Structure formats: structure tokens, C-alpha cells
A and B are shown apart, each in its own frame.
Chain A
Amino acid sequence: MANAEIDPMMPRPWVVRRISKETPDTFTLALEPSDGGPSGRGGFQPGQFSMLWVFGVGELPISISGDPAEEGSLTYTVRSVGPATQALVSHGAGQSVGVRGPFGTGWPVAGAEGKDVVVVAGGIGLAPLRPVIYHVLRHRDRFGRLVILYGARSPRDMIYRKELAAWARHKDTQVLSTVDYGGVAWRGRVGVVTSLFKYLRLQPARTTAMLCGPEIMMRLVARELAARGLAAGDVYLSMERNMKCAVGSCGHCQWGPHFICKDGPVFSYAHIAAMLDRYEL
């Protein structure tokens, strides 16, 4: 049981150190603890999220997208889609943001050691998977091949484009991307992310797959991986639902018997495959 003095609903003020533009509506914020504040030094597992509070506007569950080895800093990639995200990405360096967390389950990075890692991301779904990519590249000898499959709506909606190109230059690392519509200047692939599987040499018995993106995308990718011989227990998905508290007491993120905030957001496909097919669950 948690200490009674610790209020899990109380944000701690951190300050924006740097904010950078990924796409026309998506920004990456690097936060650091406020001076002298009891803010701690960060520390998180890849796949976990924080609740970010914007003064007087609202609070949002945002996955941590930075390097888990980096101390004293927390990085988030945010797409501006509503009043609170709009306010969040409008922060300037030196302004404060409230942070609660980190919360939730992480990707099975320890369990994936010795195996190939296949990362499949759609749109901003690459953000919660970036810490896994950093971790694998930092401990390259502990893992087999790293395969990154990335789908975005259009080239201008792709995040981390420079990094994707840089990751592809690492040994035993394959990066494939595709877009729904490319425009005249696009020389890459066009199609949904599942269309990339034909370029892969999967070794199903020694592969862990990690998926994050729109639910429909994850459902189809998980099916595709199952059809290619991956066991459901080797496929992991990061789920999303409305969240207000992140500590399992506001009720919003319930999905069947699960609270996505504390039982997830990362789930094994073996545990949720049947639930993914239930409309309005």
C-alpha cells in the first residue's frame, strides 16, 4: 500500500527545457525538474506514461518518448488535437508543466533480450516505442535484429524522420516506412503498414513484436503477425482509453476487466485478442 502522505493526484512542477517541432501539429517537449523542487530525477520504463497538467486548462495522459537511460529529464511527443494539447505544445522554454507518474506497464524489453525485436508503429504511435528503440540500440549485443515498421498518413505526418534514417544505418537494423498518400515528391512506399510485412524475414520462434498505433491498425498487424507464425504471447500492444486519474480509481479507462492505466497500457496480445474484436466494449 502506498504511503498515505503521497497524493497520487498531485502534480509536481517541471519546466520545459526545449520544445521542437516534429510535424505541423506535433511537438516534442523535454522537461526537467524545477529548481529546488522535490521533483525526483525521472526514471521510467519504456512504454510508461505520465499525466501532464497544463495550468488551468487540463491534464493529459502522454507516453514518455525519450531515452530511458537519460537521467533528470522526461521527454514527451504531443499532437495538438484539442484545447489541452494545444495549450501544452504552446509552452515556451522555462515554463512549467505539471507531471504525475510515470504510470502503467512497460514494453517487455527484458523479456525480448536474445530475440529479434519488431516494432510496428502508426502515426504518433512511434513515440511510446522510441524508448524501446533507444534501449535496444544502446544495448545492441543483447538483442537480435531490430525491425522498425512505420506507417503515417502522409510524409509530413511522419515524426522522427531524421532519426528513422539514422536508425536504419545501425547494424542489424531494418527500418521500413510507408504512407497512406504520398504526394508528387514522395519516392517511398504507399500503403498501410501491414503491406510492409512482405519485405520481412521473420523468425517467428525468436521474435518479440511491439505495436502502437490506431486500434484498427494494431488489430490488423496482430492478426498479420499471428498468420506469420508469431505466438500471441510474443506480441504486445499499447492500448488507449480516456484517462483522468491514471491510478485506477476514476473508472474511465476500463476495458473489460482491465484498467488500462494500471493493468496496461501495454498488454500481451494473448490476454486481449478476444477483447479487440468487441465493438464498444
Chain B
Amino acid sequence: MAERLQARLAPEEIDKLIRGLARRGYQVLGPTVRDGAIVYDEVAGAQDLPRGWTDEQEAGRYRLKPGTDGALFGCSVGPESWKKYLHPAQVKLFEADRQDGLFRILGGPAPPARPYAFLGVRACELAAIAVQDRVLLQDKYRDPVYGSRRDPAFLVAVQCTQAAATCFCASMGTGPQVRGAADLTLTEIVNAEGHWFLAEADGDRGQEVLAELDRRPATDEELRLARTAVESAAAQQVRRMDTAGIRDLLYQNFEHPRWDEVAARCLTCANCTMVCPTCFCTTVEDDSGVTGDRAERWRRWDSCFTMAFSYIHGGSVRTSSKARYRQWLTHKLASWIDQFGSSGCVGCGRCIAWCPAGIDLTEEVHAIRGAVNHGNTDA
């Protein structure tokens, strides 16, 4: 691996970066504004990015609002995560046809036409991709759908320099400083002296792309400014998760009055599992044509909050909302450690913002711990 390259870029270079990645054959995907939220979609140039927007998040609340600094990446994470592309919400597993009672499989899932380049991957999202890598690629079986999307993907990380009120990555050890393996890492700085980016690349792939941009070596002062900006995002975080002994805490509190209390608020709507960047559960559905000689099998996201999820002959195993919320939280924070060697939570806060009832998992864990609960912050 080459020596780390650290360069200062003018903001205009982001447009060239997008076009350069597209020229290399990537489908470039990044944050865009749609329907009042940040939505990941194809970006043709910097004009598609949410320039000048920022967001406001709280438990059960998400709003975009105009920012004051004209930053390209001034918004925190929105409702979508990159699992939208790597672990699609619906994918055709195969098609088959049948004649005289005999069927044959006509083909498996197709990889994307172009490899993906993700622009604007936050530290928590890199951590989430690493968590899904472990689940879907590095377990006993390898998921070819995820693998064909993940393996060639080019990742452009963007450091967070401001935190949403729902963020708690610092306490999960996943951010805000980018720790995962990105091809290129950007830090966007807007200050009295202007608007610029620090670009850092460790590997050959990122350095090749960076070499095509107008740049100059970053000064020590610029590196310091960039580092301080990321540190301020950590300092801004008002939520935190106390992870000490959390696996045993939840295992030992399978029966706890808090589960009944949260179940009285939980709508079992499954929003938290849809927005979670690590939730990986799926179901399968069969589509058959009206003639009965052709069939398709589809895989779709599923959620442990539905009754059907645990259905076996005779009934569902987890019928109460209490059992379903407990399964989700205990899996995410405790049994995930047994299964895959890490927490399933990266501290992105999406499940807090997008819960229609404003349920905050940091608060739930805090309550189960038996600590005095004064609302959202326990810092």
C-alpha cells in the first residue's frame, strides 16, 4: 500500500471527482434532496448534492433546513443507508419455468450493470457496512447478491463536522472519525478563510482518483483544522449509549418492567428496522404467473416487528409487542455480539429520528440499567 496522500482541494473539485468516477465506469451515488429528506441517488455532478442544506433531528423528528455556510455535505444521515444498494429491499433470486410437472431454473440474480461508487459515506455508515460484511460475506455462507455489489464498490467517506441531536457514534466507538477502510476520505471545511476539502487516500485506487484532481499538499495547519472539526462533532453529541457489559445486562433482564413500558409506546411499525443500516432480515415471496408455468422468487426486507416473522405452524412465537421490541433491541445490542463478534448498533440514530413514537434506544437501555432517567440525555 502506498503512503497516505493528504491534499487540499477546492470545492469545485468535487464535481470533477464525481465525473472522474463516472468515467471510470462507476455509478456514482450520493446524497440528494427529495421530498424534504436526504435520499441517496445517482449524482451526475456537484449540482445534484444538497448544497446549502442542513438538518434538524430529534426523537421522532427530521427536518431539512437551509444552512448558513453553503456546505455540500452539511446534512447528517437521512432515512436511507447504503444497504439500499448493497442489500436491496427487493431482489429477484431466480426465475423458473415448468413443463409437464418438471421445472428448470432460468437464471439467478443479476449484478448491477455498473459497480457502485458511494459519495458521502459517514463514519457510522462505514462501520455499518463492515457489520453487514461480517453478516453477509464472512459467515458460514456468502450472500452472492451482497457480494456482487459490495466487492467492487468504491467508497468516498465524508467526515462529520457536526452531529445531529440523534447521533451517538462516539459512544459506540464507530465515529465521528472515519475508521473503516474508505478509498477516499473527505473533510469539508467552511470557515472565515473560505470553503475547501481535505482529501485523504491510503490505497492505490483512491490515490489514482485523487491524482486526477487539482490539489496541493495539505499543510499542518489544514490537517489540524480538519481534525478539530471532526472532534467538535464528537463533542456536540448529546446522546450516548453506555455499552459496558451490555450483553449480559440485556440477557439478564429478559424480564424487566421497562419492556412493558416501551411496548405501550411501540407501534411495531418496523420503521426502526427499515432505516437501520445493519438490520439484514429478509423474507422470500413467490410470484407465479396466471398460466402457472412460470414463477419468480423474490427476496424482500423483513422485520422482526411483524407477527408473521416468527410464525410457525400453530402460531407466532412473538405475539406481544413487548417480545418483538425486546427481540430487536436484544439482538441489536447483545446477541449480535455472540453471533458476529460486534454490536449490531453503530450509533447513527436513525431509529430514534424515524420512530413515529420517538422511542430512543439509548434511553431504553439507560432505563433497563436502572439509572435515573431524565429524558434524552444522560451524558
Contact = CB atoms under 8 A, between A and B. Distances in A.
A265 to B, nearest CB: 12
Contacts of B292: 56
Interface stretch (B112-120, B135-143, B192-200, B211-219): B135-143
Given A8-B141, A251-B302, A244 B310 contact: no
Contacts of A248: 139-141
A256 B280 contact: no
Nearest to B303: A251
A4 B139 CA distance: 13
Given A9-B93, A10-B93, A248-B139, A94 B283 contact: no
B140 A252 contact: no
Given A242-B309, A244-B282, A254-B335, A10 B101 contact: no
A11 B143 contact: no
Contacts of A82: 313
Contacts of A244: 282-284, 302
A241 B310 contact: yes
B293 to A, nearest CB: 9
A13 interface: yes
A202 interface: no
Contacts of B288: 55-57
Contacts of B295: 55-56
B138 A1 contact: yes
A241 B331 contact: no
Contact of A249 (B109, B282, B335, B338): B282
Given A13-B103, A56-B295, A245 B254 contact: no
B281 A1 contact: no
A249 B317 contact: no
Contacts of A242: 309-312, 317
Contacts of B102: 13, 15, 34, 94-96
Contacts of A56: 98, 286-288, 292, 294-295
Interface string B324-363: 0011000100010011000000000000000000000000
B141 A257 contact: no
Nearest to B308: A242
Contact of A2 (B104, B105, B140, B302): B140
A250 B304 CA distance: 10
Interface residues of A, number: 44
B312 A55 contact: no
A173 B25 CA distance: 69
B46 interface: no
Given A82-B313, A94-B101, A257 B338 contact: yes
A203 B231 CA distance: 67
A81 interface: yes
Contacts of B319: 280
Nearest to A8: B141
B253 interface: no
A247 B282 CA distance: 12
Contacts of B331: 254
A123 to B, nearest CB: 11
A98 interface: yes
A278 interface: yes
A241 B312 contact: yes
A93 to B, nearest CB: 9
B94 interface: yes
Nearest to B319: A280
6 contacts: A1-B138, A34-B102, A98-B103, A244-B302, A248-B140, A251-B281
Interface of A: 1-2, 4, 7-11, 13, 15, 34, 53, 55-59, 81-82, 91-92, 94-96, 98, 240-242, 244-245, 247-252, 254, 256-257, 259, 262, 278, 280-281
